[in-house]
């Protein structure tokens, strides 16, 4: 098992926060308008604990069971985000832990989460995943017809849809992601102009370790950073 260098994680966290703040200022935005989510898939609990000691409060997991196991060992003030798509049979467990769902990829899952959040006596927020590149390997709604496809989700009572998420197609250059980020921001603006989403499409989850600065400059409110914070995932 690879030892966790808590000091290195604290240094990387501080550097990330500075880079996010600087990117926000370049875009004429308040640094506090962007929130860092530590993408902690497969990282040991000790790595998350080091980041929490450095001030990070948001962690994102891709699998429900991994999140539940880690939550049992970390402070209760951690805000848990589910970054990956959710299977129907995990909805009840997920609704009991996660506060923000970044990858709502079909209406059925949104309705199920709404019901499970009601059952758990909680309220959750969700972001609709958009497959901008039409990639067969990725989940999400296609951009064409998005407004009509997600209109029924505006009526959910315990899962509040507050924005959009995307993972752009791979690019060797971080700048290659910028047009995709810009497209997601434009889609969110189009939705926000519709009565059912008025005042609600305020969040954009986009940007990871290689391209988060471009994402911030294009309007990201959540950036999901793993390797640049924790280092490579353990083998």
Using only C-alpha atoms, the chain has a radius of gyration, in whole angstroms, of: 17
Q: Which CATH number fits domain 6-226: 1.20.1250.20, 3.20.20.10, 3.40.50.300, 2.40.33.20?
A: 3.20.20.10
Is the per-residue pLDDT at 132 higher than 90? yes
Confidence of residue 126 (pLDDT cuts 50, 70, 90): very high
Average pLDDT over residues 20-30: 98
- The pLDDT assigned to 83 comes to 98
Average pLDDT over residues 128-138: 95
Report the DSSP beta bridge partners of residue 205.
165, 222
Task: Quickly tell me which residue has 């899952």 as its tokens.
Answer: 109
% helix, strand, coil for the chain, step of 5: 45, 15, 35
Cβ contact 45:74 at 8 Å: yes
Is the per-residue pLDDT at 53 higher than 60? yes
Report the DSSP beta bridge partners of residue 185.
none
Domain ranges (residues) in the chain: 6-226
Residue-wise pLDDT tens digits, 145-181: 999 999 999 999 999 999 999 999 999 998 999 999 9
CB contact set of 173 (below 8 Å; sequence gap of 6+): none
Q: In a 10 Å sphere around its CB, with 0-12 CB exposed, 13-18 middle and 19+ buried, how is residue 102 labelled?
A: buried
Is the per-residue pLDDT at 2 higher than 80? no
SS3 of residue 7 by DSSP: helix
- The pLDDT assigned to 175 comes to 95
């Amino acid at each position: 098992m690879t030892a966790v260098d808590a000091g290195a994680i604290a240094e990387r966290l501080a550097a990330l926060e500075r880079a996010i703040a600087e990117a926000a200022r370049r875009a004429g935005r308040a640094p506090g308008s962007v929130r860092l989510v530590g993408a902690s898939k497969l990282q040991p609990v000790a790595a998350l604990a080091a980041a929490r000691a450095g001030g990070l409060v948001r962690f994102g997991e891709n699998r429900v069971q991994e999140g539940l196991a880690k939550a049992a060992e970390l402070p209760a003030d951690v805000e848990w985000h589910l970054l990956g798509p959710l299977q129907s049979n995990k909805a009840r467990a997920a609704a009991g832990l996660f506060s923000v769902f970044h990858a709502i990829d079909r209406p059925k899952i949104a309705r199920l989460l709404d019901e499970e959040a009601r059952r758990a006596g909680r309220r959750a927020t969700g972001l609709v995943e958009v497959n901008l590149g039409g990639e067969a390997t990725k989940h999400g709604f296609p951009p064409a017809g998005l407004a009509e496809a997600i209109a029924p989700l505006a009526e959910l009572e315990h899962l509040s849809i507050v924005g959009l998420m995307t993972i752009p197609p791979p690019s060797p250059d971080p700048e290659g992601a910028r047009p995709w980020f810009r497209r997601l921001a434009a889609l969110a603006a189009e939705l926000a102009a519709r009565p059912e989403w008025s005042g609600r499409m305020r969040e954009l989850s986009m940007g990871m370790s290689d391209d988060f600065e471009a994402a911030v400059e294009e309007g990201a409110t959540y950036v999901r950073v793993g390797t640049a914070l924790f280092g490579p995932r353990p083998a």
